[in-house]
Amino acid sequence: MKHIFLNLKRFDITPELGGVNRLAEPSAWGEAVTSSIKQVAERYADIAEFAAFLPEAHLIGAVRGAGQSPLGVGCQGVHGTDTAVGGNFGAFTSLRTGNAVAQLGCGWALIGHCEERMNLRAVMSEAGAAPEDVERAVNRVLAREVLAAQAAGLKVLFCMGERSEEVERWEEVLTAQVTAGLEGADLANVRIAYEPVWSIGPGKTPADAPYIQKVARLVKSVVPGVDVVYGGGLKADNAEMLAGIPEIDGGLIALTRFSGEIGFYPDEYAQIVDLYLNA
């Protein structure tokens, strides 16, 4: 079984405010996204698992748009603690809990994305923590989030990856992220997305097939049985390459167009999925 994930970050913001939403009015954006791509999930339901991760304000619309299709809807992270009978009744102002998004109809949570890791590092660094202590703390925080998501009944897409200053220690860094971040987790309900942070972004050299393959092999040796997808951006120009790596079980799509009117376009999403699954 392959896995196709979609992370829409804050793509609901219109170009007038610096965003890339050219799909629908912000109030209808979540429903527009899922209703326009669910046919892809239906077409490939026998060979691939699909889920889309959206900003919190759009989850209700996204669930409505996905309907009874095989397209799962997920949130972009959860808080590490949650409500409990006889415990905390909901004192989590500004924080997103697993129970909250599960009751909105979500079945997935995206945890550990490089942007979340970057924010956690920044917060901890403000307190003056040493870099090595920061990394250990980030992994512990993410582990609590994974457990909280699973306690709420959510499947988890767990992201991990090394930065440019960590490439020489890639094996040590990635092993620590996976082992600490998934400690105690139900691995049957986890998928892992590998993000080579050092290679993502304008002007950077994308990771090649041999590099991606060696990382996937490492991850699968550390957590046997857990599928690994490429989180550095599944797109039209790398779909065939990624499909040729036996250890990679799918991909994470974000933008579909990287020049001109950049953004996410449902028809281009369908083309990327077709290219990957039919390669």
DSSP letter assigned to residue 235: -
**C-alpha separations of 201 from 65, 180, 207 in Å:** 31, 27, 11
Quote the CA–CA distance of 74 and 4 in Å, as a whole number: 13
113 assigned to active site: yes
Quote the CA–CA distance of 181 and 142 in Å, as a whole number: 6
Asked if residues 191 and 147 have their Cβ atoms less than 8 Å apart, the reply is no
58 assigned to active site: no
Q: Which residues contact 252 (CB under 8 A, 6 or more apart)?
A: 5, 6, 7, 157, 193, 195, 229, 230, 231, 232, 233, 234
Residue type present at position 64: R
The secondary structure element, H or E, covering residue 215 is helix 209-222
Quote the CA–CA distance of 7 and 113 in Å, as a whole number: 10
Of the candidates 235, 233, 244, 228, which has an alpha carbon nearest to the alpha carbon of residue 274? 235
Q: Which of 113, 116, 135, 145 is catalytic?
A: 113
Which are the catalytic amino acids? Answer: 113, 195
